[in-house]
Amino acid sequence: MNVLTLRLPEEIEKKLKVKAKIEHRSVSEQIKKYISDAILSEENPDLPLSFIKETLEAKAEIEAGFGQEYKFGHIK
């Protein structure tokens, strides 16, 4: 893993610290999350970020064995 030093405006730093605390993350983890979200958004400009995240979550759940096959036309 490489180390990267960022200089951020004080206002952004304050917001990062608040968000990190709310999400129970370190400031570094919060920055990583925001960068990851930004990359996902740029790679999928026509999709809302919430849809991308929900799709990735569903994929992970299926890979973990939590998914169930949907049967069309069957109402229980």
Segments making up each domain of the chain, as ranges: 12-63
With contact defined as beta carbons under 8 Å apart, do 20 and 26 qualify? Answer: yes
Summarize pLDDT for 32-61 with one digit per residue, the tens: 999 999 999 999 999 999 999 999 999 999
Residue 12 has pLDDT above 80, yes or no: yes
Say if residue 67's pLDDT is above 90. Answer: no
pTM for the predicted model, two decimal places: 0.74
Three-point CA angle 54, 57, 58, nearest 5° = 85
SS3 of residue 13 by DSSP: helix
Mean pLDDT throughout 50-75?
A: 87
Size of the chain in residues: 76
Q: Which letter does DSSP use for residue 46 in this model?
A: T
Tokens encoding 45: 């400009």
pLDDT band at 72 (very low <50, low <70, confident <90, very high): confident
